[in-house]
Structure 1
Amino acid sequence: MLLPKQFHFLFFLFFLALSAFAQDKGEAVPLKNIMMEMEQQHHVNFNYTENNVEDVQLIPPKKSLSLEQKLEYLSKKTNLSFENIDNKFINIYKKEKDSLIVCGYVFSNSDNKPIGNANISLPNKTLASTNSNGYFEFKKENETSILISHVGFISKRIALPNSDSKNCLQIQLEPEITALAEIKTNAILASGISKNKDGSFEIKPKKFGILPGLIEPDALQTMQQIPGVNSIDESVSSINVRGGTHDQNLFLWNGIRMYQTGHFFGLISVFNPNLAHTISIYKNGSSAFFGESVSSVVAISSTPETAEKNSFSAGINMINADVYGKYNLSKKSYIEISARKSITDFVETPTYKEYFDKIFQNTTIKDFLQNQNVDYESDKKFGFYDATLKYGQKIGSKDQIILDLITIKDNLEVFQSAMGNNIYKSEDNVLRQQNYGGNLSWKRNWNSFNTTKINVYTSAYELLAKQKTTNENQIVIQENTVNNNGINLENNHIISSRFSFNDGYQFNETGITNLEDVTNPDFYRKVKDVLRTHALILEGKYNDTLSRIYFKAGTRINYIEKFKKYIVEPRVQFSYGLSKSLILELLGELKSQNSQQIIDLQKDYFGIEKRRWIISNNTTIPIQKSKQLSLNLFYKKNDWLLDIENFYKKVEGITTSSQGFQNQLEFVKTTGDYEVWGTEILVQKKMNHFLTWLSYTYNHNNYNFSNYQYPIFPNNFELMHTVSWAGIFEKNNFKIALGTKLSSGRPKTSPKSSLIDVSNPTLIYNTPNNTNLDFFSQVNFSSTYKWDTEKGIQYKVGVSILNVLNRKNEISEYYRISSLTNSIEEVETFALQRTPNMSFRVSF
């Protein structure tokens, strides 16, 4: 007896046999059934519109016929045409004498897969839509062209054939892949400052609000408000990021490395604050495309992200005047210029006098004043300028060329003379510092997901000091020059809206020359070193806004020709949104650096800019290497913001000459490392037009010079505790800010005894950095107001006061033996006293 399941199966087979027998005997069946059977037998797909086949019935062709024979049979028996494309797709359309049928296939050019539900349309109506095979057809009337569109693809317009064609159109669309914009936390510390998912801080000067003591968005002054960034001597030429020296930071202006970062020997940034469009600051986890630094990266781009209108502005403050202009030469080209010059040639303002006293204290120029007896005379000339030029040109729809040029110069001339005891003494001093560079970049968008960028750049730096002493008939010349040239190649590949991949190659050649030329007695020394490096960069990024995961990993493989040495530098950035308000972030990097600044003698270059650049020799001057890891917790909700970051950093290969010692290690030549760990905390609250924040930084920073008798001791740049607070009010066009900064005093080394052996006058010190200076405290204020006229002209005025309470803050201290008294002298250097500044600017 048959089981029920077996019975149903046999009944189904019997039904199929009857159906097949009926077809062979000549019974008409729907055309759809015939096509389904042919698709299974010949592995093809039929493309058609429903109204062409819905009522068609006919006797099926014999199964033994070939595909072409069956199609010919169907064509004869119906009013339809069957077009065979590569024995894969069969297009069906009606035979109409007076009409032309247009058909086609739409594919993706990235993977050649068919695109379903694409719209085939005219400006005012839709003609057809593609099916799952990407097929479409429509009856042509007066159309000469059609537009093919689909979400996620770039729309494409094509011309239609004038006559009937047996072949369907083959149309490929390019995916329109738009990288999701990284979510930024805006208004950190001030409006115009944001934090990216990769851990970097981004400053938009044109959107910048206000910070205490600042009336302009100075890049290097602004970054000192970020927790973990300080200046040990109140100078933008001595910025210390997590315990590192200034030369360990990489400063880039439109891809050009800048070796000079400050005007007025460090009190003003060389970067025109009215020019920069985007400033990116990385304390850790920088991209693998950034090399040659073991500390932070400051990348300044003056290339606008979007097209901008013609604009012009001019301004003046109590130190300098500047102009800026941008003019669109055509729809595809523009030129942008800026220039800034000190006004000290014409007037000595109170601001200038405070700056001058701060810079030249405890220098050889001041020493001359202290040692003169009577009838002292002095004539000093100081000035600086910077200028930039940018030319941008688009070529077609895919290419863009940009040329950037920059020049910076500071010049000081001081003539001093004195007459005493019938002895005439005079000195003629010249100190010049300049940096200029150029970058030519070409960018090509091959398509919406592949981009190539090539940069060719050069940067030249010079520091020159010339001292002429009349009574000794002696001329001393010191010169330090750097020439840096290179080429960068970067390819960007957007794989999907979540994943992208970058690769590239960089070549860099750095030549550094140090010259000393002395007459009476004669001495001449010139040393030049050149280092060439190659770097291969690979980097991938995954950004999923839905799962709140951001992951970026890359590596930089350096090869140094001279040393035949490879250095691998992995980098990683990871963030995960634990919730919409809470983000966990992990950053890590390995980096290296081949050049550094050292001090041979504290009185070099008059003691004003005593650091000189040198290049590694891989022995006594090692390649510096760093490793850093940080873990960050970021919370933002209801206008509250909390940012807590713990970090660890170690830099190997440092030299004692690069650390600015003025104790028993001043003339000791050895190498070692420093190790720093700490915590950075920022709490911020926004209430309508009022923003207030409080930050705290803890740093524990120690040297390790294993070959020295005291191998481990505090770092010269350790500020163990730093606290900053600001209150900012912004409403309409009025802004005002008040803030304070307190920090532990920097380490110093005290003498063991105040007594000096007259027969052997030498200083005997305690262990290095055994004590600290008094704490640093400063209150700053600033305010700006702007207004517009009916003619579209904007005016802006600003006022600021540094060190409102006029506190006398000591920023360095060292000891020396007086040649006159054979006693110990304590030499102190102080920060700026109360320093006012005012500005006025007009824009249109």
Structure 2
Amino acid sequence: MLRPKQYQFLFFSFIYVLNLFAQDKGKTMPFSNILFDIEQQHHVSFNYLEENIIGLEINPPKKSLSLNEKLKYLTKKTNLSFENLGNTFINIYKNTPNSALVCGYVFSAIDRKPIEDANIKLNDKTQITTDQNGYFEYSKTDKNILLISHLGFVTKRITTPNQNTKNCLQIFLEPEVMELKEIKANAILASGISKGTDGAFEIKPKKFGILPGLIEPDALQAMQQIPGVNSLDESVSSINVRGGTHDQNLFLWNGIRMYQTGHFFGLISVFNPNLAHTISIYKNGSSAFFGESVSSVVDISSTPEKLEKNNFSAGINMINADFNVKYNLSKKSFIEISARKSITDFVETPTYKEYFNKAFQNTTITVFTQNNNVDYKSDKKFGFYDATFKYAQKIGNKDQIILDLITIQDNLEVFQSATAYDIYQSENNRLRQQNYGGNLAWKRNWNAFNTTKINVYNSAYELLGNQNNTIGNQIVIQENTVNNNGINLENHHILTSTFSVSNGYQFNEIGVTNLEQVTNPDFYRKVKDVLRAHAFIVEGKYNDTLSRIYFKAGTRLNYIEKFKKYRLEPRVQFNYGISKNLNLEILGELKSQNSQQTIDLQKDYFGIEKRRWIISNNTTIPIQKSKQVSISLCYKENDWLLDIENFYKKVNGITTSSQGFQNQLEFVRTTGNYEVFGTEILIQKKLNHFLTWMSYTYNDNNYHFANYEYPVFPNNFKLSHTLSLALMYEKSNFKIALGTKWSSGRPKTSLNVSNVDPADPVLFYNRPNDTRLHIFSQVNLSSTYKWEVNAVQYKIGVSILNILNRKNEISEYYRISSLTNAIEEVETFSLQRTPNMSFRVSF
């Protein structure tokens, strides 16, 4: 039996069916009701002015008609026009019989919704605004030029047609999209250094504060303060990131790969510290657009984000002098020129002497003087310079062309002579190291959502050594050259306010030549290798600041022509704000590298520079491949910062000749890998004008050489424990920083002396890296002060490295003396107490 509620349901259903039947039979309905029914049936939304449909009643279209058929029916029955935008939004506007009246609608180009309160400015300075439906109208003149603007949208300029039109104008504004990087933590280690949601440390040199021992924002010196980054020999040419060698890092300057990173054999960075605008450092999780490295990425850009005013600056310290000038050629173009040169040609400062002693200790040049019973003479000449040039030109509102050029050079000449036992001998050593490159980039903003960038680059590196020895009248020439060129294509597409996609193609060609030539006895060898690689990249990014989720995933497909090999390299960055104060970060990547540096003999290039670039041959010199994953938690509250990161990294395809062995493995040629687990901790507190931090790094880093008698042993670059402390004070124009760095000693191989015959000594080693050097400890101080007079800014800086003058041992090995035929223990030490001063003027 049917219940009352069921009777009611059947009754109303019957009435509704009759109503539908009545509609199809020709009964008129209010137009607003018809639109509502269509919206419900087809899931669309109508935009219209109430005044255009008020009081309008017509026969509704049949329910069985399609959406477009219904719109055609409504157009025929009314004096209205309908614009269907993707079967989602439908704009309704009135046909205007009055040719003297112009009407229009303003919509958002991204979602087709009307824009309320858009400002329309006519050429007669009349201003009108749109209503809630984006509608406007005005009296037409012979020619109207409209300027349509609204906050958050790109201003649009249009000219209305002269002929009469019965339809309203439809104007679509492009949103003004500015992709902002959300910063996870500001002022890490110093002002001007921050960490982004993509895991990169970003340095802004123009906003840089101060770090212990630094009076200039040197990128490669500053990055050594980041947990997990070290240089075991205090050199910017030997930076080790999570156990990797220096050549496993990718250094880019405005898109150009740099093969030389240090002046004065690594004691000074080749990158002018007063020039860069942004320096991004990735330890893990780098973009898929970065290739050719299995360790970190250091991306340096000197291009300003917006056009800046003309400026000039010049400075001098106890090693070099430099200048930088930027001049705007027009409102859309500028040039920038910088140059830096050593002052060692004119004066030998205490800083230069300490650097010289550090760089040349235990080289063939200092070995020449070991016998004190000689009449010894020496003449040394050393100098370096670097220069850059930039030209930037905007073409219209969408295109920009940028040309970057850089040149770097170091020159050393050392003449030595000695007379012992009436025997005269001399050596004339010449060493030149240089790197120059260029990059031409074109960038086009097709619209607010699509950007294309194409750049063509070249980088050329040369290391040339010439040694002339009177003993045996022997001449030795060594040369290592690299020529790297390529083209990059990048496309970036913003699909929504939270999601974007990038894709691209890269072609890279690298040629490496190694030359060795000796006279008496005659020997000549020249080897040249060329490798070409292609890469296809796709990358997507989701960044929702409301839900605090950042996710970026991409992949890089490499193809090497010579080996006919493909390799897929996925990358991932994930950052989630668990709460307002707590962030979770997960990074991962697979990467590869086709070139590397090796050491044939420790005395190559007089022992000052031992490394030479080579290309993988896919057999004895494999392609290096890495995989890395890390997870970290970052907590910040009340100016406290705590960042804890755990990581795992493995690099396959390393060779013994690339690791700098000076034990029984120096002349062994085999391949293997290294594997490292580690933890990095940073604790930081800001209090008024003080900033103090402590960082600690632990890692367990081991080699794996399966074909060697000791298949597993500690990595040469293993520092089990590293601790850094710093205290900085910044107020107004005065800054001072005091800090210390402590680390457990690096591994070394001890000598087994039980079987040594003093009459015929032979080096017998214990297990590789079976012991360690002494603890490394150093205290550094720096301070700067700036002031301004008549719009001219002056800055003075003072620094002292190793204030306590501690004698830190940074390497130790054994050799058999050519003079005494005895076993010697050779020790190399870090810089002694080294002062430096700088003065700079800017306007």
Same-fold call, TM cutoff 0.5: yes
* Correspondences of 1:115-134 after superposition (within 5 Å): 115=114, 117=116, 119=118, 121-122=120-121, 125-129=127-131, 131=133
Deviation at 1:694, TM superposition (A): 0.5
Q: Is the 8 A contact 1:45 1:90 kept in 2?
A: no
Deviation at 1:61, TM superposition (A): 12
CA distance in 2, matches of 1:427, 1:414: 8
* Correspondences of 1:24-423 after superposition (within 5 Å): 49-51=49-51, 54=54, 91-92=93-94, 100-106=100-106, 109=109, 113=112, 115=114, 117=116, 119=118, 121-122=120-121, 125-129=127-131, 131=133, 136=135, 138-140=137-139, 144-149=144-149, 153-162=153-162, 164-371=164-371, 373-423=373-423
Residue segments in structure 1 that go unaligned for 5+ positions in a row: 76-80
Q: Is the 8 A contact 2:758 2:822 kept in 1?
A: no
CA distance in 1, matches of 2:495, 2:641: 34
Aligned to 1:831: 830
1:284-313 deviation per Cα after TM superposition (whole angstroms, max 9, x unaligned): 111111111111111100011111110000
Residue 368 of structure 2 aligns to a residue whose secondary structure is helix
Letter in 1 for 2:131: S
Letter in 1 for 2:802: N
Q: Is the 8 A contact 1:373 1:419 kept in 2?
A: no
CA distance in 1, matches of 2:10, 2:158: 58
The 1:370–1:637 alpha-carbon spacing in structure 2 relative to 1, beyond 3 Å, is: same
Q: Is the 8 A contact 1:596 1:613 kept in 2?
A: yes
Q: Is the 8 A contact 2:106 2:118 kept in 1?
A: no
**Which protein is bigger by CA-based radius of gyration?**
1
Residue 808 of structure 1 aligns to a residue whose secondary structure is coil
Aligned to 1:614: 614
Residue 312 of structure 1 aligns to a residue whose secondary structure is strand
CA distance in 2, matches of 1:363, 1:516: 19
Deviation at 1:228, TM superposition (A): 0.4
Deviation at 1:422, TM superposition (A): 1.2
Deviation at 1:155, TM superposition (A): 3.6
Deviation at 1:475, TM superposition (A): 0.7
Deviation at 1:165, TM superposition (A): 2.0
Aligned to 1:558: 558
Deviation at 1:371, TM superposition (A): 3.1
- Aligned-pair identity in percent equals 73
The 1:388–1:127 alpha-carbon spacing in structure 2 relative to 1, beyond 3 Å, is: closer
Residue 492 of structure 2 aligns to a residue whose secondary structure is strand
Deviation at 1:22, TM superposition (A): 11
1:255-280 deviation per Cα after TM superposition (whole angstroms, max 9, x unaligned): 11111100000100000000011111
Aligned to 2:700: 700
CA distance in 2, matches of 1:61, 1:538: 50
Q: Is the 8 A contact 1:203 1:279 kept in 2?
A: yes
Residue 606 of structure 2 aligns to a residue whose secondary structure is helix
Q: Is the 8 A contact 1:803 1:835 kept in 2?
A: yes
Letter in 2 for 1:735: K
Residue 357 of structure 1 aligns to a residue whose secondary structure is helix
Residue 447 of structure 1 aligns to a residue whose secondary structure is coil
Deviation at 1:121, TM superposition (A): 3.2
Q: Is the 8 A contact 2:600 2:657 kept in 1?
A: yes
Aligned to 1:453: 453
Aligned to 1:602: 602
Q: Is the 8 A contact 1:674 1:715 kept in 2?
A: yes
After superposing the two structures, state which structure 1 stretch, 363-372 or 195-204, moved more.
363-372
Aligned to 2:541: 541
1:690 and 2:690 aligned: yes
1:148-171 deviation per Cα after TM superposition (whole angstroms, max 9, x unaligned): 456654342323344542233243
CA distance in 2, matches of 1:620, 1:832: 37
After superposing the two structures, state which structure 1 stretch, 294-303 or 148-157, moved more.
148-157
Q: Is the 8 A contact 2:181 2:197 kept in 1?
A: no
Residue segments in structure 2 that go unaligned for 5+ positions in a row: 63-68
Letter in 1 for 2:794: Y
The 1:103–1:792 alpha-carbon spacing in structure 2 relative to 1, beyond 3 Å, is: same
Deviation at 1:339, TM superposition (A): 0.3
Letter in 2 for 1:703: Y
Aligned to 2:639: 639
Aligned to 2:810: 811
Aligned to 1:841: 840
Aligned to 2:432: 432
CA distance in 1, matches of 2:23, 2:355: 103
CA distance in 2, matches of 1:298, 1:371: 44
Aligned to 1:731: 731
Deviation at 1:369, TM superposition (A): 1.1
* Correspondences of 1:456-471 after superposition (within 5 Å): 456-471=456-471
Deviation at 1:176, TM superposition (A): 3.3
The 1:205–1:754 alpha-carbon spacing in structure 2 relative to 1, beyond 3 Å, is: farther
CA distance in 2, matches of 1:314, 1:542: 43
After superposing the two structures, state which structure 1 stretch, 419-428 or 799-808, moved more.
419-428
CA distance in 1, matches of 2:714, 2:42: 82
Deviation at 1:406, TM superposition (A): 0.4
CA distance in 2, matches of 1:495, 1:703: 46
Aligned to 1:662: 662
Q: Is the 8 A contact 2:264 2:384 kept in 1?
A: yes
CA distance in 1, matches of 2:538, 2:61: 60
RMSD: 3.1
CA distance in 2, matches of 1:685, 1:744: 26
The 1:166–1:779 alpha-carbon spacing in structure 2 relative to 1, beyond 3 Å, is: same
1:393-421 deviation per Cα after TM superposition (whole angstroms, max 9, x unaligned): 11111111101000000000011111121
Q: Given the two structures, how large is their TM-score scaled by the length of structure 1? A: 0.92
* Correspondences of 1:503-522 after superposition (within 5 Å): 503-522=503-522
Deviation at 1:144, TM superposition (A): 2.4
CA distance in 2, matches of 1:34, 1:555: 51
Q: Is the 8 A contact 2:119 2:127 kept in 1?
A: no
After superposing the two structures, state which structure 1 stretch, 48-57 or 367-376, moved more.
48-57
After superposing the two structures, state which structure 1 stretch, 627-636 or 3-12, moved more.
3-12
Letter in 1 for 2:222: T
Deviation at 1:185, TM superposition (A): 1.6
CA distance in 1, matches of 2:35, 2:838: 82
1:792 and 2:782 aligned: no
Q: Is the 8 A contact 1:256 1:438 kept in 2?
A: yes
CA distance in 2, matches of 1:539, 1:19: 53
Aligned to 2:65: none
1:627 and 2:627 aligned: yes
The 1:480–1:70 alpha-carbon spacing in structure 2 relative to 1, beyond 3 Å, is: closer
CA distance in 2, matches of 1:617, 1:73: 75
CA distance in 2, matches of 1:672, 1:179: 43
Residue 813 of structure 1 aligns to a residue whose secondary structure is strand
1:77-109 deviation per Cα after TM superposition (whole angstroms, max 9, x unaligned): xxxx5568899987446766xx72323455555
Letter in 1 for 2:391: Y
CA distance in 2, matches of 1:824, 1:62: 104
CA distance in 2, matches of 1:257, 1:359: 25
Letter in 1 for 2:814: Y
CA distance in 1, matches of 2:454, 2:819: 62
Q: Is the 8 A contact 2:101 2:140 kept in 1?
A: no
CA distance in 2, matches of 1:704, 1:355: 36
Residue 496 of structure 1 aligns to a residue whose secondary structure is coil
Number of matched residues? 825
1:628-649 deviation per Cα after TM superposition (whole angstroms, max 9, x unaligned): 1111111111000001011111
1:198-244 deviation per Cα after TM superposition (whole angstroms, max 9, x unaligned): 11100000000000100001110000000000001111110011111
Aligned to 2:768: 768
Residue 520 of structure 1 aligns to a residue whose secondary structure is coil
1:34-85 deviation per Cα after TM superposition (whole angstroms, max 9, x unaligned): 999999999999986444664679x98999xx9999999988xxxxx55688
